[in-house]
Amino acid sequence: MEQKMLQFLQNCRSIRQLKQTHLQIFIHGLQDSHFILPKLISLSSSLDSLDYALHIFQTSYNPNVVAYNTIIKCFIGKTHKAALRIYNRMKASTMVTPNSFTFTFLIRCFESFEAVQDGTVVHGDIVKLGFNSSVFVQNTLLDFYAKCGGDLESACRVFEEMPEKDVVSWNSMIGAYMSRGEIEPAIRLFDSMPERSIVTWNSIITGLSKVGNMDLARSVFQRMPGKK
């Protein structure tokens, strides 16, 4: 029956259809299924009914971490206060704990509204719970600080404290420097990169062009793989 309800949800094209399917799910006692609940929440949000998605979540019994993450993700670009309330409920629960996706979605919510203070508080939780070793989470934090008021100092601290960096980490930090017109540290970082992607090259060349340093932009362009 659970698989059948999931198929019904897959075929929903309107909030009316979703509510009808939700009723059938409730009748069959599947409303708290760890597979169905996140799907209900996500689909409701995608059908432009965030209020109904929140209603589904709030009336569920003992939602798991996937359900929490799904509703927080729904708030990205829409509200950060509601996302923070859900996160605080999660913290108060003895049945579920945040994971790397929780913090990634939450920080992205804060980034959308430049909620630096809330992001800084949650950053403390990230460190306390040991997620500062996650490249996935740290990249999101780095991006958050770089874009929210251009807090280069905090972005640099996150970057320097990362136990492991990937190309996204390097690109984000270079992009942060370039967006503030900090050419010299951007070039130093670029030169020390162990591996560069096409995004890296485009970012540095575009940044140099924007500040009018065409000679250096051409010089970097000539260093691209495949250029003579």
pLDDT at 143 over 90: yes
**What average pLDDT does the segment 143-164 reach?**
90
Q: Are residues 85 and 158 in the same domain?
A: yes
Residue 66 lies in a domain: no
**What average pLDDT does the segment 112-119 reach?**
93
pLDDT at 149 over 80: no
Query: Which of 145, 164, 183 is the last residue before a domain boundary?
Result: 164
**What average pLDDT does the segment 121-138 reach?**
95
Q: Are residues 87 and 155 in the same domain?
A: yes
Residue 73 lies in a domain: no
pTM above the 0.95 mark? Answer: no
Higher pLDDT, 90 or 8: 90
Left if phi > 0, otherwise alpha if psi is -120 to 50, otherwise beta: which for 175?
alpha
- Tokens linked to 19: 């509510």
- Tokens linked to 11: 């075929």
- pLDDT classification of 16: cutoffs 50, 70, 90: very high
pLDDT at 179 over 60: yes
Q: Are residues 17 and 42 in the same domain?
A: yes
Q: Are residues 195 and 227 in the same domain?
A: yes
Higher pLDDT, 221 or 85: 85
Higher pLDDT, 138 or 181: 138
- How many C-alpha atoms does 27 have within 13 Å on its Cβ side? 8
| Mean pLDDT score of the chain | 92
Encode pLDDT of 64-95 as tens digits.
999 999 999 999 999 999 999 999 999 999 89
What CATH number does the domain containing 188 carry? Answer: 1.25.40
pLDDT at 192 over 60: yes
- pLDDT for res 138: 96
Dihedral (CA of 194, 196, 200, 205) sign: positive
Residue 50 lies in a domain: yes
Q: Are residues 142 and 185 in the same domain?
A: no
pLDDT at 203 over 70: yes
Name residue 188's amino acid: R
Q: Are residues 160 and 171 in the same domain?
A: no
**What average pLDDT does the segment 48-54 reach?**
95
Query: Which of 164, 182, 209 is the last residue before a domain boundary?
Result: 164
- Find tokens 């942060």 and name the residue: 176
How far is residue 38 from each of residues 26, 122, 192, measured CA to CA in Å? 14, 23, 43
Higher pLDDT, 226 or 44: 44
- pLDDT for res 195: 86
* Distance, CA of 76 to CA of 113 (rounded, Å): 9
| Of 63, 69, 70, 4, nearest in space to 31 by CA | 63
Question: Which residues form the domain of 220?
Answer: 167-228
pLDDT at 60 over 90: yes
Q: Are residues 171 and 228 in the same domain?
A: yes
Q: Are residues 42 and 11 in the same domain?
A: yes
How many domains does one find in the chain? 3
Q: Are residues 177 and 159 in the same domain?
A: no
Query: What is the secondary structure of 147-169 as a DSSP string?
Result: HSTT-HHHHHHHHHH-SS--HHH
CA dihedral 92, 94, 99, 103 (to 10 degrees): 0
Q: What is the DSSP letter of 33?
A: -
Q: Are residues 83 and 160 in the same domain?
A: yes
pLDDT at 228 over 60: no
Residue 85 lies in a domain: yes
Q: Are residues 193 and 154 in the same domain?
A: no
